[in-house]
């Protein structure tokens, strides 16, 4: 019975590491804009089955191309509280423009801007034939991924930040279509406070679309911790077998 209890406790510890993550935002726009607000007129919930960009009945944020500099063509979501510094965000992205991206904004405990992280298209000081990423504070700024831009196509985008308490930096990883493309370390370690779809900046070319945005907050188990836990479970099973 004691062996069973020990094994149960190990399994419970494993499950608890997975349960720490919580879905904070999930948005597919099928029920309207919810708590998202326009930076100004320009971003809209659309059904674009006419041009076959979206499946019939599927809604997405449409950010127009060639907008003037300012907050035209953006949607903002301010979270009720800043997330844990460990977080993952995924979203679908379709763009033919020159400067479109989803921006993750982190504020410090005083409410001041402390971090900007982004993945998408940028057009100043980078290779605009590639997808670009940004970690603005305590890190690299705008940089290029190795992936060439492809227009008229949906892409699955993913950004994750991994932070172990006590470390001097966090790690930010960038993925497109399940392929790892870039990583950056940052000393400006913050959770997510605001999500911003669209750059709000001058943007040549056609519109961009954002859909299926999911933000998860919570501890991301490190591979070493998972291996140690697995080894402990295997060892305990061995002890149980030997004592039978």
Nearest to 99 by CA among 15, 202, 185: 202
User: Which residues constitute the domain of residue 54?
Assistant: 22-219
Number of domains in the chain: 1
CATH code for the domain of 65: 2.60.120.200
Tokens of 244: 């039978």
pLDDT at 39: 78
150 in a structural domain: yes
Tokens 């990883």, residue located:
173
Q: What is the pLDDT of residues 60-101, one digit of tens each?
A: 888 877 655 555 678 899 999 999 999 999 999 998 778 889
* Low-confidence residues in the chain, pLDDT < 70: 1-19, 40-44, 49-52, 56-57, 66-72, 219-244
Residue at 1 is within a domain: no
Q: Flag whether 60 is in a domain.
A: yes
**Helices 223-243 & 2-19, crossing angle to 10 degrees?**
170
DSSP-assigned letter for residue 226: H
Q: Whole-structure pTM over 0.95, yes or no?
A: no
Does residue 236 belong to any structural domain of this protein?
no
C-alpha–C-alpha distance, residues 155 and 27, integer Å: 16
Name the DSSP letter for residue 41: T
The pLDDT assigned to 17 comes to: 47
175 occurs within a structural domain: yes
Name which of 50, 182, 191 is nearest 120 in CA terms.
182
Closest C-alpha to 164, from 90, 84, 82, 83: 84
Query: Would residue 205 be called left, alpha or beta, if left means φ above 0 and alpha means ψ between -120 and 50 degrees?
Result: left
Q: Which residues face 136 on adjacent strands?
A: none
Decide if 26 is inside a domain. Answer: yes
Nearest to 106 by CA among 87, 132, 131, 92: 87
Q: Tokens representing 100?
A: 């479109």
């Amino acid at each position: 019975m004691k062996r069973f209890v020990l094994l149960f406790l190990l399994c419970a510890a494993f499950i608890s590491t997975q349960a720490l993550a919580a879905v904070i935002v999930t948005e597919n726009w099928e029920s309207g804009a919810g708590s998202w607000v326009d930076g100004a007129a320009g971003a809209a919930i659309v059904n674009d089955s006419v041009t076959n960009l979206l499946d019939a009945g599927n809604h997405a944020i449409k950010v127009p191309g060639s907008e003037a500099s300012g907050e035209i063509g953006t949607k903002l979501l301010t979270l009720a509280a800043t997330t844990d510094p460990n977080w993952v965000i995924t979203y679908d992205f379709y763009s033919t423009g020159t400067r479109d991206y989803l921006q993750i904004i982190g504020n410090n405990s005083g409410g001041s801007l402390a971090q900007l992280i982004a993945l998408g298209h940028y057009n100043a000081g980078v290779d605009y034939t590639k997808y670009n990423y940004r970690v603005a504070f305590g890190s690299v700024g705008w940089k290029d991924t190795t992936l060439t831009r492809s227009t008229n196509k949906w892409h699955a985008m993913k950004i994750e930040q991994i932070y172990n308490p006590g470390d001097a930096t966090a790690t930010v990883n960038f993925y497109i279509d399940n392929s790892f493309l870039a990583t950056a370390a940052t000393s400006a370690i913050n959770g997510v406070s605001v999500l911003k779809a669209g750059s709000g900046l001058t943007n040549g070319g056609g519109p961009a679309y954002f859909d299926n945005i999911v933000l998860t907050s919570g501890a991301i188990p490190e591979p070493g911790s998972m291996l140690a836990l697995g080894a402990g479970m295997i060892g305990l099973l061995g002890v149980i077998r030997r004592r039978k």
